[in-house]
């Protein structure tokens, strides 16, 4: 939220407040999720890993919708803001915005950032699928391949 906020400051397009508010909401959500678990030193299991991935994308898409909700210029409903956020992160190319030429530069930049991050996620996921026995996945497969101790 800092980079689009800086774009809003440079262009003075009035969208900086939306990104500042979103930054503090995201900071509060992250702190509330981190603080109770800061001293945990456990090992993740597959079920917990799946839950973390689902929650990560849900929270990321939800927080990603906040600049569209807080900003005055696009004037999106909550549903349209969520659609824009998840559409950008999944790189579908669909949009509910009309009149892109008249939107603030910071909002346009933010939309492109969402799509860029979504595109990178697809590339990382593709590499993960193409080369599955590296890193964390390899450690899991080695751990599961050991004979059980009696």
pLDDT tens, position by position, 19-52: 999 999 999 999 998 899 888 887 878 888 889 8
- Which H or E element spans position 75? none
Within 10 A of 91 (CB to CB), how many other CB atoms are there?
16
* Cα 87 to Cα 22: distance, rounded to the nearest angstrom: 19
> Contact 43/143 with Cβ under 8 angstroms?
no
- What CATH number belongs to 2-33+43-130? 1.10.287
DSSP string across 10-65: HHT-S-HHHHHHHHHHHHHHHHHHHGGGTT--PPPPHHHHHHHHHHHHHHHHHHHH
- DSSP character for 135? T
pLDDT tens, position by position, 68-103: 999 998 889 999 999 999 999 998 888 988 888 889
Whole-prediction pTM? 0.76
The domains of the chain are located at 2-33+43-130
* Cα 4 to Cα 62: distance, rounded to the nearest angstrom: 17
pLDDT tens, position by position, 117-142: 888 876 777 776 666 655 555 655 55
């Amino acid at each position: 939220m800092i980079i689009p906020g800086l774009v809003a400051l440079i262009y003075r397009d009035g969208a900086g407040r939306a990104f500042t508010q979103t930054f503090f909401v995201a900071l509060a959500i992250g702190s509330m999720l981190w603080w109770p678990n800061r001293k945990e030193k456990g090992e993740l299991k597959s079920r917990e890993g799946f839950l973390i991935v689902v929650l990560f994308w849900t929270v990321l898409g939800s927080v990603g919708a906040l600049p569209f909700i807080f900003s005055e210029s696009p004037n999106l409903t909550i549903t349209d803001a969520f659609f824009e956020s998840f559409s950008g992160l999944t790189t579908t190319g669909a949009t509910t915005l009309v009149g892109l030429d008249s939107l603030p530069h910071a909002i346009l930049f933010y939309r492109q950032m969402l799509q860029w991050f979504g595109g990178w996620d697809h590339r990382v996921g593709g590499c993960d699928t193409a080369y599955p026995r590296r890193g964390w996945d390899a450690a899991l497969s080695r751990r599961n391949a050991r004979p059980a101790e009696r």
